[in-house]
Chain A
Amino acid sequence: MAVYDFHAGAFRDDDWIFPDDDASLPAGKAAVSKARFVAREEGALGLVLTAGDTLDGLGNALARVELVALRFPRYADGRPYSLARRLRERHGYTGELRAVGDVLRDQVDFLARAGFDTLDIVHPGTIEALRAGTLVRVTRHYQPGARSERPAGYSWRRVSF
């Protein structure tokens, strides 16, 4: 499987496994649901959160996590953007943040600026546009984003790319 890596600006291979809740934990890098994660299953270094999940009860366990995948059930459900910011700001999470699910090309830059590192998407048009580098983008921003961007004039403005 390949994911889009914002830092590299390209797709790359990925070996994370996302077992169903009733499947046994496979060997290798596995990411599990919050329920499973909170039960402190051995070996799971990845966490999958769905829009609607809270960050309560994760405690210090986040420190050992290498991947948090935030699932978008529908593109219009914007909760994962705020979860991403909270994970970084309130919980000090520094590992990989991945967006999973229903994402259209018009959200790609929002995701990058909300602090996501990688993108695991299914929409063929979006994948194609990312591969071909044909996204039409807005590179001027009126708010500080989660990534380092060039300041531009006023304290709240940024330029990307």
Chain B
Amino acid sequence: MYRYDEFDSDFVRQRVAEFRDQVARRLSGELTEDQFKPLRLMNGVYLQLHAYMLRIAIPYGVLSARQLRKLAHIARVYDRGYGHFTTRQNLQFNWVELARIPDLLGELADVEMHAIQTSGNCIRNVTADHFAGAAADEAVDPRPYAEILRQWSSLHPEFSFLPRKFKIAVTGAERDRAAIQVHDIGLQARRDADGAIGFAVYVGGGQGRTPMIAKKIRDFLPESDLLAYCTAILRVYNLEGRRDNKYKARIKILVHEMGEADLIREVEREFEGLRGTPLALPAAEVARIARYFAPPDLAELPPHSVVLDSRSAGDPDLSRFVRRNLTAHRAPGYTALTISLKAIGEAPGDASADQMDAVADLAERYAFGEIRVSHEQNLILPHVRLDDVPALHAGLQAAGLATPNAGLVTDIIACPGLDYCALANARSIPVAQRIAERFADPVRQDAIGDLKIKISGCINACGHHHVGHIGLLGVDRKGEEFYQITLGGSADETATIGEIVGPGFPADRVVDAIEAIVDVYLRLRHDASEDFLAAYRRIGAEPFKSALYAEV
């Protein structure tokens, strides 16, 4: 993974010093909360319902065991013993004290981490495929490009006061696990016929109040043009994006209002002027960054593990875990292993300090010390020997982290919602917990198969409900919490915005509604090989509507 050099660590230390100065000015009263707000937001500090919240960047979801241990330490010393992994591959601490945040950031800097640009109207933490460098279907490792973009976008002098936040996601596989088509810029790294690397460039996707699927504006942008082209897009957006209404300020609205053809013309014109400037990426520099992401020392192994096969034959828990939580690895005999943070009855994405330590230990012992955070709010050990899976599974069981539900109905994405978030209309976490409890039976979950439920507590859509196979959106109806259901959304290479199925349901009926939807699917699917999304695309919304609203 990427390691800071002297330059990077100087940068982060200087930034901590700057923020320490800002906090001191706030605490002394020189700055009012209003004046302080934009400054703290540039460092990931929010004022939430009950306390300040700090959001820490985990660039493109890559963490080392050492870093995770530090996060566990911070959870213990500065918070209430746990942290919350978000859908943007970040980590949030919900109970930090403002006066201590500079020290906390200093501790983060010790392990090459920061909270820069995790909020504010700037380029946010760049996200990437959480199986990068491991997935069997990967054409190009997206991490070097995500790292270059992270660096380039850090305290960018031109793009720190955009009309609105700006999110970039990068993948390097045809199968899109980074949801690039619902980002402001989505990049798919690929190779042309000669093996040269370039990017399919998507612009103007997004969720929130007006969900939109991105438009592809370049099929193959040469690697060396990456920064110049992104600069061109950002400059056009910075100048032309709307600033009169924050709900219309994202680039997706600009693309929509300007039209795809005009936007492309503007971007290309800007790009022409940026060609041949110092923004051109020399191949040698890309190679230097890529070297940090060289694969670990993987052994030559047979594709199947006799140990694992025989152990899981006699252990239903292990066998279920293997079936659900392992993903094909590019190297024979290895797997990418998902650690679900969706234990039944727990808050999705939460991990205790002890659990973080346990994962760090296991990663060091069995997985080259490397951990990933997925936008599905789970952790991943990207390089694990199949032979080691039984021992690892036992270790995870001991830490309460062996839930075998990756991709199943109980692997629910949920935003913090009304339990923490000042913007929420409704609670997300308790609904996720109740749905998970209803479907807790593992046999039933298996029978239902792949199903992504995503819950947002308000229209900001941090829980990605628009792209859930089943999406739940918290709405406020005369002071009561209601949930609007969408069906058929998807965030992968076939990205689709879910359709609203009808009037919302009150909190005490929403779990029944989900169950009714699942029952319709089970009744009407061809067979178990037709998953929920495929069945929905075939049969449409009608059968679900009549089941949900029949008795009314």
Contacts and interface: CB of A to CB of B under 8 A. Distances in A.
Interface stretch (B280-288, B336-344, B500-508): B280-288
A138 B279 contact: no
A82 B11 CA distance: 24
B522 interface: no
Contact of B157 (A54, A83, A114, A154): A114
Contact of A78 (B10, B39, B160): B160
Interface string B147-169: 01001111111111111000000
A136 B17 contact: yes
Interface in B377-420: none
Contacts of B5: 153
B30 interface: yes
B7 A157 contact: yes
Interface stretch (B173-181, B209-217, B270-278, B486-494): B270-278
Interface in B236-262: 238-239, 243
Interface string B16-35: 01101110000000100001
Contacts of A143: 152, 156-157, 227, 279
Interface residues of A, number: 40
B266 to A, nearest CB: 12
Given A136-B17, A142-B154, A154 B288 contact: yes
Interface residues of B, number: 48
Interface in A87-133: 89-90, 104, 106-107, 109-114, 125
Given A85-B235, A136-B21, A110 B15 contact: no
Q: Is the interface of B mostly helix, strand, loop or mixed?
A: helix
A145 interface: yes
A142 B158 contact: no
A142 to B, nearest CB: 4
B506 to A, nearest CB: 39
Interface of A: 54, 75-79, 81-83, 85-86, 89-90, 104, 106-107, 109-114, 125, 136-145, 152-157, 159
Given A79-B239, A143-B279, A155-B282, 14 more contacts: A76-B38, A78-B121, A79-B243, A82-B238, A86-B239, A110-B160, A111-B157, A136-B14, A137-B18, A140-B8, A142-B154, A143-B227, A144-B279, A156-B148
